[in-house]
Amino acid sequence: MIHVTRKVHFNAAHRLHNPAKSAEWNAKTYGSCNHENWHGHNYVLEVTVAGMPDPDTGYVMDLGKLRDILDEKILSKCDHRNLNLDVPFLQGIIPSSENLVIAFYHEIRDDVERAAAPGARLSCVKLFETERNVAEYRPNE
């Protein structure tokens, strides 16, 4: 199995807040990430496709096509946006890194797997919120 990865970055604001909980609960649970006027991150997103190379191209996934999918499906919608307010496919979720990797996976999976080599699959979506805070979604593990 070969794994190929494309890395992109975007900047966005968000607020971690559960509207079903009290202000006190949110402040205690999320700390400064619950700031009512939002806060931002310089996110790094890594998307990995796993499979065997197509015999005609030698590619598991043309990384230019993967770049284009990420530009259309994630960056154009999330870069320099408020993830709580501006991104339709994120509506109704708490935009933690954990929830974001799941949402990103579902937003791109079909397009990635259509463009990849036969039998290849979207293997991992990894989001660096900071250099020290990372979430990965690997649905097939």
Active site residue 80: yes
Catalytic residue among 9, 33, 39, 41: 33
Catalytic residue among 17, 78, 124, 129: 129
Summarised one tens digit per residue, pLDDT across range 65-120 is 999 999 999 999 999 999 999 999 999 999 999 999 999 999 999 999 999 999 99
Q: What backbone torsions phi and psi does residue 21 show, to the nearest 5 degrees?
A: -110, 165
Active site residue 129: yes
What is the topology classification, in CATH, of domain 2-14+40-137? Answer: Tetrahydropterin Synthase; Chain A (3.30.479)
Catalytic residue among 3, 17, 80, 113: 80
* Beta strands 121-128 and 39-51, pairing class: antiparallel
Confidence of residue 140 (pLDDT cuts 50, 70, 90): confident
Summarised one tens digit per residue, pLDDT across range 25-77 is 999 999 999 999 999 999 999 999 999 999 999 999 999 999 999 999 999 99
The reported pTM is 0.96
Instruction: Give the list of residues 6+ apart from residue 8 with CB closer than 8 angstroms, or none.
Output: 44, 45, 47, 67, 70, 71, 74, 75
